[in-house]
């Protein structure tokens, strides 16, 4: 923790070694924190094993100069600005998450799965019906729209069954799977290559999209618990 606040004084840079964490944006961010700390006259005793007496004297001069300017209100404004800049950089360089919704639709002891078209990413793999959430839509609205476009059915959306995050080579998705029922219509293959109704025991017979693997495990787990409960009765 102490090493995280090490800084490199310009007046004696040749005599100091940068700590192992001192690189890139993290190094500059620590400098921002250190400057603000010294501006508030908070003293941190930093363990620098490579200091010489000359370096200690120059370092004391540097800290004294910072203290001298600590009453300047521009210091606080500058600090806030730097925080905003670095926070923005971190956000922009982070993972771009795509919100995706899907429906777990049951018919007695079977649930619906759909096979993706061959020309799309992850072609011919099986999945739950659904798609991306468009700007201005709620997740429920997006799921109703997707089912109308892909299956030509009107969906009644229930509660959330499960949420997962999965990173593909081309996209990172936050998938929300809803329990749902078909309120009106018969599923049609408007976009998918095929549609099937399967039991949890038949899951191993199909190749699913990787993002669905955790969900399928949970479905099989719930089905096993239900079967045990029926046997106990």
Q: Determine the Cα–Cα distance for residues 29 and 82; give it in Å rounded to an integer.
A: 8
Each residue's pLDDT tens digit, 131-165: 999 999 999 999 999 999 999 999 999 999 999 99
* pLDDT of the residue at 144: 98
Each residue's pLDDT tens digit, 172-227: 999 999 999 999 999 999 999 999 999 999 999 999 999 999 999 999 999 988 77
Q: Determine the Cα–Cα distance for residues 75 and 34; give it in Å rounded to an integer.
A: 12
Q: How far apart are the first and last CA of the chain?
A: 58
Quick one: 67 exposed, middle or buried, by C-beta within 10 A (0-12, 13-18, 19+)? middle
* pLDDT of the residue at 41: 45
Q: How confident is the model at residue 18 (pLDDT cuts 50, 70, 90)?
A: very low
Q: Determine the Cα–Cα distance for residues 130 and 182; give it in Å rounded to an integer.
A: 13
Other Cβ atoms within 10 Å of 83 Cβ, number? 14
Q: Determine the Cα–Cα distance for residues 80 and 32; give it in Å rounded to an integer.
A: 10
Q: What is the mean pLDDT of residues 71-81?
A: 64
Q: Is 121 helix (H, G, I), strand (E, B) or coil?
A: coil
Each residue's pLDDT tens digit, 127-140: 999 999 999 999 99
């Amino acid at each position: 923790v102490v090493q995280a606040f090490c800084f490199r004084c310009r007046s004696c840079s040749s005599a100091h070694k940068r700590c192992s964490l001192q690189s890139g944006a993290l190094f500059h961010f620590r400098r921002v924190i250190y400057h603000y700390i010294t501006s508030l006259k908070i003293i941190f005793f930093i363990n620098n094993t490579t200091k010489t007496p000359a370096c200690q004297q120059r370092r004391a001069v540097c800290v004294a100069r910072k203290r001298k300017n600590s009453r300047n209100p521009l210091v606080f404004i500058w600090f806030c600005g730097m925080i905003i800049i670095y926070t923005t950089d971190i956000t922009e360089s982070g993972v771009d998450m795509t919100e995706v919704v899907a429906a777990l639709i049951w018919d007695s002891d079977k649930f619906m799965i759909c096979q993706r078209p061959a020309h799309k990413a992850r072609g011919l793999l099986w999945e739950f019906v659904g798609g991306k959430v468009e700007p201005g839509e709620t997740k429920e609205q997006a799921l109703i729209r997707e089912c109308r476009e892909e299956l030509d059915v009107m969906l009644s959306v229930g509660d959330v069954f499960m949420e997962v995050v999965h990173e593909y080579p081309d996209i990172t998705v936050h998938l929300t799977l809803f329990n749902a029922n078909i309120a009106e219509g018969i599923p049609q293959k408007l976009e998918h290559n095929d549609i099937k109704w399967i039991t949890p025991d038949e899951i191993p017979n199909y190749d699913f999209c990787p993002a669905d693997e955790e969900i399928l495990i949970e479905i099989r787990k719930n089905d096993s618990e239900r079967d045990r409960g029926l046997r106990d009765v």
